[in-house]
Chain A
Amino acid sequence: MSKLKSSGQQTADAPTPEDAFHEAAALEDHPSAPRGSKADGPVLSADGTPLKRSLNRALRMQKLRALMLIAPLLIFVLVTFIAPIADMLFRSVENQIVSNTLPRTTQALAGWEAEGADSAPPEAAYEALYVDLFLAAEAKEHTRLGTRLNYEETGLSSLFRSSGRDMDDIGEDRIDALEDANEAWEEEGFWYTLMTGGEGAAGNTALLDEQRDRLEALTGDSYAADIGFVPGQAISELLPRTARAYAAFALYTVVEDEDIVAEEEPWERVKIALTQDLRDPATVQALADYDGPGAEELRAAADLSGGFEEIDFKQTFLEIDEDWGNVDNWQTIKMYSPPFTSGYFLNAVDMEKTPDGPALRDEDERIYGLLFNRTLFMSLVITGCCIMLGYPVAWLLANLPMRTANILMILVLLPFWTSLLVRTSAWKVMLQQQGVINDTLVWLGLVDDASRLIMINNQFGTIVAMTHILLPFMILPMYSVMQTIPPSYVRAARSLGATNWTSFWRVYFPQSVPGIGAGSILVFILSIGYYITPEIVGGTTGTFISNRIAYHISSSLNWGLAAALGSILLAVVLILYWAYDKIVGIDNVKLG
């Protein structure tokens, strides 16, 4: 093996495959197979390892080094580009808020089918709603859910907000009766001892963890901290609902309010749960044998609770707000209870979810189709305008003498040095009805003072301003492609007998098409997602889909819909790119 010869082909300090090969050979002690012993086997290197493997080994180091070199950029791109796109795609279908906020309600609704206008859900659903909504109201998450569901069914936001306020009042009379009978039920310490099951009682951590998960899902915060409370095993078996409610209360008190469990009086919900538990005959029976702390009080309370009337949750909710009797509201909750939904996408294409599957919205409620069409149409017009205006300029740039071309190039680049906002605002000054252009036209007598042209706050204004702003993106790729076309081609064409026009159209133009393609892709993709200029000069008829996305992100806060619209926009761009590749071929795009 001639080491000299092969290392001579490389630069002196670069690691040669040969070096790595020798290192590898030294590290591994392969039984050396005689070379060429198998004529048809894989090619072996000097020490008998397959050549492919030693080549890979030799190149691994170089590849690793190259990877490390680009790693900062790769990570940057992943973090700032790929990750937001992935997040956007996820957000456009994500819908966990309903099942996180109303887990029991969605469970209770699973078996329910709306049969008609008056087929309200069962009592169990109302009771579950009380349990869920009480906790959500304490955690102040019910308004978020209301906002979310309001996107689908108007009125749900205020329904949730007002109902949340009234949750504390449900079963008020019972709590009063309980507390009147024995003041112990108002004492924080008593409750704490009752629920821990006293000194040395076995703890029920499973229950605590269950509530911990529930609250984490609800609030999105971490509840991992030690809260200084574990519900007693015996008491949580005896009073399951109370134990669950108290555990949730304890967790919330410690983590969110940063108080001590034993020093806070439990929520009304805990007391209601107690009265509910104590009405269960089985509990009453079991209570007779219970000897933990507060057993006496419990037995007294059980006697008292037996006399209470059953709470009619449905009636209670209807009293709070009669909209709770509206089947549509319940259907919306049920429809959006799965953790993922196609609702945002349906919304983004002017459709809605109905119990009978997706359906087109009413004609007067459709806006996104119109906006998508308008965005595509106007982007095409802008791209076309840029080609028409940019081609001659690029041609001049490529064909003028260097000095003149440089001055012209500065003029082309000048807009890049001015703020986008300034340029757009300048167009406002130019195009408005009392603006420069109208004034000039009136002064020239071309336009009557009473009928000044409306050139701003409509599609015309957007097209003019955006063409101006995006023109450099068209000129620069065209220019760099045209620069590479030698003048001898046109001369050859003319010497072969072609007129100026023919030699341009048949010889020069086809060679400049890659530049047009590159510029068009740039301008079209930029304009399809343009936001600031249409926002300022677009008025109502000249706005793009991106303005709607921005509205949903910053004003209506419907991020899911914004994400769905964004995803559709992304898909449209990708499809167009694919189509362009099919029709023109992406190899034909040159930036220089």
Chain B
Amino acid sequence: MADTDNNDAFVAFERVQKSYDGETLVVKDLNLSMPKGEFLTMLGPSGSGKTTCLMMLAGFETATHGEIRLNGRPINNIPPHKRGIGMVFQNYALFPHMTVAENLSFPLEVRKIGKSDREEKIRRALDMVQMGDFSGRRPAQLSGGQAQRIALARALVFEPELVLMDEPLGALDKQLREHMQFEITNLAHELGITVVYVTHDQTEALTMSDRVAVFDDGRIQQLAAPDTLYESPDNSFVAQFIGENNTLAGTVKEIEGDRCIVELDDGELIDAQPVNVEKPGDRTLISIRPERVETNVERLGENAHTLKAQVAEFIYMGDVFRTRLKVAGKEDFIIKTRNSADQRRLQPGENIEIGWLPQDCRALDAV
């Protein structure tokens, strides 16, 4: 998982461990390196260690073991204010007793930048987030989205090369959040800054990032580009955590290169692509994405694997139909079909045949 060219990386974690109480590790053996200009998201459920990693990078937590390097320089012992890392906090942390302009001026003042320079930088930063008219306001007079932009402007105003964002969009409503996702990514790419972004929202992670690190249990489970992550999850956790996923439990019968035969618990045999199963007899979870399941099996061609299914529930969601099926003894097999003109609406209780291509069916570890 860890990149080999750690020395050229802009940000690098090397065998980093963190424990708060000396008994349990919150972060277990973290290795990560990212090049300059990358937008990397740390994604994971709460308690997975992603925020701790961010805080160690920012300098608010010290690593119990291992080394963190920024631009080739170890920063373990550098206090936060000397790291020159911009940070956007979950609740923005705009100083309530200062105006917007004073908030932006703060990082410049502590860097002893002259007054005229300061004003110029503040103006540019505010224009960048389209908040030029708000410089005299107090944070309490701003809406959530406005405060978010100011927090972003403040993290960028002193031109850091690395910006950390700790669930910055958590407090916004859905529409605003989607809009801000777009703006943040654009801005990051325009300015060419490196961003480490923490979120527990997988859609956010997928849409914004160059690469996503999926955290669980203090480890990175998979570090990959969003499409790889979604289409080729390395293990069951990633498959379950990213997007919607159907699983069928079974036992490996045969393995032959990139093909294996799995016997499902109800005796049915299916083809699958082995990912992290090693030998016949291993328990496995078969993972199939709901949108890769076809109800019109003729379309799939000869290679396709087909199964019998019974419709349990049909849910109309506008752009897609979501149908819950009873398949191989499981009742929560979900399929998604596009609401196209020729798509039939299935009736509960109907017996149908479903199918998928073997390459969409991945045999993963059984958790």
Q: Give me the interface of A with B, judged by CB distance under 8 Å.
A: 486, 488-489, 491-500, 502-503, 506-507, 510-511
Contact = CB atoms under 8 A, between A and B. Distances in A.
Contacts of A510: 97
Contacts, number: 70
Given A495-B155, A496-B106, 20 more contacts: A486-B93, A488-B93, A489-B93, A491-B58, A491-B93, A492-B93, A493-B95, A495-B59, A495-B60, A495-B83, A495-B86, A496-B81, A497-B107, A498-B106, A499-B81, A499-B110, A502-B110, A507-B95, A507-B106, A510-B97
Interface in B73-103: 79-87, 89-91, 93-97
Nearest to B157: A496
Nearest to B84: A497
26 contacts: A486-B91, A486-B93, A488-B89, A488-B91, A488-B93, A489-B93, A491-B58, A491-B89, A492-B87, A495-B59, A495-B81, A495-B83, A495-B86, A495-B87, A495-B164, A496-B81, A496-B86, A496-B107, A497-B81, A497-B82, A497-B84, A497-B111, A497-B158, A498-B106, A499-B81, A507-B106
A127 to B, nearest CB: 77
B283 interface: no
B322 interface: no
B81 A498 contact: yes
Interface string B1-31: 0000000000000000000000000000000
B154 interface: yes
Interface of B: 58-60, 79-87, 89-91, 93-97, 106-107, 110-111, 154-155, 158, 164
In the complex, the 9 A-B pairs of residues with the closest C-beta atoms, listed nearest first: A496-B107, A492-B93, A495-B87, A488-B93, A494-B80, A498-B110, A510-B97, A497-B110, A494-B81
**By CB atoms of chain A within 10 A, which of B58, B82, B89 has the most?**
B89
B141 to A, nearest CB: 15
A491 B155 CA distance: 12
A489, A494, A495, A511: residue with the most chain B Cβ atoms closer than 10 Å: A495
A501 to B, nearest CB: 10
B160 to A, nearest CB: 9
B81 A488 contact: no
A492 B55 CA distance: 12
Contacts of A492: 87, 89, 93-95
Contacts of B90: 488
B262 to A, nearest CB: 49
B109 to A, nearest CB: 8
B85 A493 contact: no
B60 A491 contact: yes
Which of B93, B96, B154, B164 has the most chain A CB within a 10 Å cutoff?
B93
Interface centre among A492, A493, A511 (most CB of B within 10 A): A492
B9 to A, nearest CB: 21
A488 B107 CA distance: 15
A495 B97 contact: no
A506 B89 contact: no
A496 B92 CA distance: 13
Contacts of B60: 491, 494-495
B213 to A, nearest CB: 21
A495 B59 CA distance: 8
A495 B95 CA distance: 13
Contacts of B80: 491, 494-495
